[in-house]
């Protein structure tokens, strides 16, 4: 098994708790667990060490250092019951511009901007720039110190029933200001996310731009297709025997040619 696959499996095992935080990782055990060579296991552990997931010390061994935080794809809440809180870093009124006016379907000359940091496990893991109509005048500091979710934000800050979210995710390099705020190096890769939130009746409410530390956060989502009914297209299955003009000899399920062809010689 390649080192990339071993790395994926070790990381997934740490994420779901199959391998505990502070657990000692022994190369021989991992070789058996993942049916892999020592070289692949060692390369995978070195990659995880560079990412800070494990700590490797000569003559001491390898220990799991931390697991990244799962954040709901369209929300700010941590998955698995972990809490995320906010700290407001700036709020002001700024001139609106075509993108915001179009996405929010507003005609305001100005728009309200609130910037905040996301805090989990005692450190800043991300930041958000949120734009919305200035008719919403509540103080975002009222949400400070509370476990965050967009349902709470929409109810307590905006005073509306939550609706849907349109999400776009990507990656970008940290600029100097963002790097200082997130305590990373300028140029480090960040997870980026743009979300348009709507009310229960589908009215656009807020557009946000998020950046998260890629070494601390992963996005998670669950999709349920159990209510989807699938009907195979008619005539989608191949015929038992192809036409003689097709140039292809059909085979019976056991792999042998049809009896009429087998006996024709």
In a domain, 139, yes or no: yes
**Structure tokens that stand for 35 in this block:** 């049916």
Q: How far apart are CA 169 and CA 203, in angstroms?
A: 22
b/e per residue, 228-265, with b = 16+ CB within 10 A? Answer: eeeeeeeeeeeeebeeeeeeeeeeeeeeeeeeeeeeee
163: Cβ contacts below 8 Å, ≥ 6 apart: 197, 198, 199, 200, 201, 202, 203, 205
Relative to beta strand 217-220, strand 69-72 is parallel
In a domain, 134, yes or no: yes
113, 94 Cβ separation under 8 angstroms: yes
185: Cβ contacts below 8 Å, ≥ 6 apart: 174, 179
| Domain extent for 52 | 3-64
In a domain, 234, yes or no: no
Same domain flag for 44 and 82: no
90, 129 Cβ separation under 8 angstroms: no
Q: Which of 28, 46, 64 is the last residue of a domain?
A: 64
Same domain flag for 209 and 80: yes
Same domain flag for 21 and 136: no
At residue 238, the pLDDT reads: 55
Same domain flag for 163 and 214: yes
Same domain flag for 40 and 154: no
Same domain flag for 157 and 212: yes
Same domain flag for 185 and 76: yes
| Residue listed under structure tokens 């009746």 | 201
In a domain, 45, yes or no: yes
Q: How many domains does the chain have?
A: 2
Q: How far apart are CA 86 and CA 83, in angstroms?
A: 10
pLDDT tens digit at each of 265 positions of the chain: 888 999 889 888 888 788 888 889 999 999 998 899 999 999 999 988 887 888 998 888 898 887 888 999 999 888 877 889 999 999 999 999 999 999 999 999 999 999 999 999 899 999 999 999 999 999 998 888 777 888 888 988 999 998 999 999 999 999 999 999 999 999 999 999 999 999 999 999 999 999 999 989 999 988 887 777 777 776 655 555 544 444 444 444 444 444 444 444 4
Same domain flag for 30 and 154: no
- Describe the crossing of helices 38-50 and 3-15 by its angle, rounded to 10 degrees: 60
Same domain flag for 58 and 155: no
Same domain flag for 200 and 91: yes
40, 187 Cβ separation under 8 angstroms: no
Same domain flag for 169 and 136: yes
In a domain, 258, yes or no: no
Q: How far apart are CA 45 and CA 25, in angstroms?
A: 9
In a domain, 92, yes or no: yes
The domain that holds 49 is classified in CATH as 1.10.10.10
118, 142 Cβ separation under 8 angstroms: no
Same domain flag for 60 and 77: no
Query: If 0-12 CB within 10 Å is exposed, 13-18 middle and 19+ buried, where does residue 209 land?
Result: middle
pTM of the model: 0.77
In a domain, 251, yes or no: no
Q: Which of 64, 93, 113 is the last residue of a domain?
A: 64
């Amino acid at each position: 098994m390649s080192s990339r696959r071993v790395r994926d499996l070790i990381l997934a095992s740490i994420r779901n708790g199959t391998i505990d935080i502070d657990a000692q990782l022994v190369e021989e055990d991992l070789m058996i667990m993942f049916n892999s060579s020592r070289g692949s296991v060692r390369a995978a552990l070195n990659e995880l060490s560079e990412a800070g997931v494990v700590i490797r010390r000569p003559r001491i061994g390898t220990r799991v250092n931390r697991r990244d935080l799962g954040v709901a794809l369209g929300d700010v809440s941590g998955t698995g019951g972990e809490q995320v809180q906010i700290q407001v870093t700036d709020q002001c009124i700024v001139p609106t511009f075509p993108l915001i006016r179009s996405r929010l379907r507003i005609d305001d000359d100005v728009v309200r901007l609130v910037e905040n940091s996301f805090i989990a496990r005692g450190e800043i893991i991300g930041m958000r720039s949120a734009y919305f109509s200035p008719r919403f005048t509540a103080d975002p500091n009222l949400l400070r110190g509370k476990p965050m979710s967009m349902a709470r934000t929409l109810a307590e800050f905006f005073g509306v029933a939550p609706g849907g979210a349109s999400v776009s995710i990507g990656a970008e390099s940290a600029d100097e200001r963002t790097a200082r705020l997130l305590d990373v190096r300028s140029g480090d890769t960040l997870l980026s996310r743009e979300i348009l939130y709507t009310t229960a009746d589908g009215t656009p409410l807020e557009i946000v731009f998020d950046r998260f530390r890629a070494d601390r956060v992963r996005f998670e989502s669950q999709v349920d297709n159990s209510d989807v009914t699938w009907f195979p297209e008619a005539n989608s299955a191949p015929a038992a025997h192809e036409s003689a003009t097709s140039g292809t000899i059909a085979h019976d399920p056991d792999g042998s040619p049809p009896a009429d062809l087998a006996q024709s010689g």
